[in-house]
Structure 1
Amino acid sequence: MRAPLLSLLLALGAGQADARVRLGEPLPPHPWPSAGREVVVIYTHDCGDLGELWGAVMESGLPVRAVNVQGVSTPAPAGLTPWRGADAEQFARQLKVGTYPAVLLVREGRILNAWEGTFQGTGLTRGE
């Protein structure tokens, strides 16, 4: 049986980080208390079916933060309350997210790894 974090990294394609988000950068201001390690999912209404992505993220065993941007309310899995509005938009802009969904693995408030694109169950592919 794999460790939950390892499963998440494998599902997202640990060696395929291809994001514009800068690794090592601190997260911009946000409304949640920071955890030692956490996952931040930034998504929009036009990301398509994120069921498999949410499943992989929720199975990681890490705290999950949902950031719903672009003004159209889109649900997150049960138990998660998405952050929405102008401040959530600013958060994504400050991170320089280029493609949604974006998944950030964060350790002690700093971005450890990032993926942007379309989740297909085996990893993220760069969005076009």
Structure 2
Amino acid sequence: MPHMKRAPLLTLLLALGTPAADARVRLGELLPAHPWTSPDREVLVVYSHDCGDLGDLWGAVLSAGLPVRAVNAEDVPAPAPRGVNVWRGPEATAFARALRVGAYPTVLLVQGGRVLNAWEGNFSGDLGLGR
């Protein structure tokens, strides 16, 4: 049997079309079911108890001037800033997993219930709002 050379483009297309075990949040997707009414644009922070000090992250998202939602996943309560309503419990963890969050914390910029942008574990504080 002759040795077949792999077609790099075909390999790439197959890899892109196959959901990976470590699939990530996808831009443009609708948020999974959640208990709040989504405004036109909002920031969603999905975090767990083992994220460390999130003071700078909370400061950055709160200063954006958009509604902020917090999802405390993985069933261990962790604090959020005063005034931020936190969703906790098994449903919150199921929400994070349905989003395919790959790293905590994950910051999502959401518009019309769809993920506009996502930062998984590496949020720099810039939501790209062009202000």
TM superposition score normalised by structure 1: 0.77
- For residue 88 of structure 1, what is the aligned residue in structure 2? 92
The equivalent position to 1:55 in structure 2, one of 51, 59, 69, is 59
Asked if 1:69 corresponds to 2:55, the answer is no
Q: Percent identity?
A: 65
- For the residue of structure 2 that corresponds to 1:103, the secondary structure is strand
Asked if 1:32 corresponds to 2:36, the answer is yes
| Structure with bigger gyration radius | 2
Instruction: Describe the shift of the 1:58–1:28 C-alpha distance in structure 2 as closer, same or farther (beyond 3 A).
Output: same
RMSD: 1.5
TM superposition score normalised by structure 2: 0.75
> How many pairs does the alignment contain?
104
Asked if 1:43 corresponds to 2:53, the answer is no
Structure 2: where are the runs of 5+ without partners?
1-22, 127-131
Instruction: Describe the shift of the 1:36–1:87 C-alpha distance in structure 2 as closer, same or farther (beyond 3 A).
Output: same
Write the distance in 1 (CA, Å) between the matches of 2:109 and 2:122.
17
Write the distance in 2 (CA, Å) between the matches of 1:75 and 1:81.
10
